[in-house]
Amino acid sequence: GAVVSQHPSWVICKSGTSVKIECRSLDFQATTMFWYRQFPKQSLMLMATSNEGSKATYEQGVEKDKFLINHASLTLSTLTVTSAHPEDSSFYICSAPTDRVGVTGELFFGEGSRLTVL
């Protein structure tokens, strides 16, 4: 299957700093990537859809200025948590489809990034 790599797996930062998480499709081109946030023992909450060459589409209630998404190339999307605060601590995970998502295309997930803001 296709491979999606996410980095870093773990990150601890001080309150007020910004953290960048990278999501790469290693063996396929991803025009679309999805970013999720997951609280402990809860489901994956879609934050935004990252589109190569255009602006990301954010889900309702997600702060665009807090969670900056850039889809710089067909293999790389980044999520930057700006001015992080303890309430931003969470598990963030990205995914990308190789085909028509939800119809014939399964989602390939990165390993996830666990963010802890002190």
Kindly list the residues in this chain that would bind another protein in the complex (CB under 8 A).
Answer: 1, 34, 36, 38, 41-46, 49, 91, 93, 95, 97, 101-109, 111-112, 114
Instruction: Residue count of the chain, please give it.
Output: 118
For residue 88, the SS3 value is helix
Minimum gap (Å) between residue 95 Cβ and another protein? 7
Q: Compare residues 60 and 82 and give the one whose CB is closer to another protein.
A: 60
Q: Compare residues 37 and 117 and give the one whose CB is closer to another protein.
A: 37
Minimum gap (Å) between residue 37 Cβ and another protein? 11
Q: Compare residues 27 and 106 and give the one whose CB is closer to another protein.
A: 106
Residue 118 in tokens: 């002190």
Q: Distance between CA 90 and CA 94 in Å, rounded?
A: 13
Where residue 53 falls (left for φ over 0; alpha for ψ -120 to 50; beta otherwise) is left
Per the CB < 8 A criterion, the answer to whether 30 and 22 are in contact is no
Minimum gap (Å) between residue 16 Cβ and another protein? 26
β-strand partners of 46: 36
Q: Compare residues 43 and 54 and give the one whose CB is closer to another protein.
A: 43
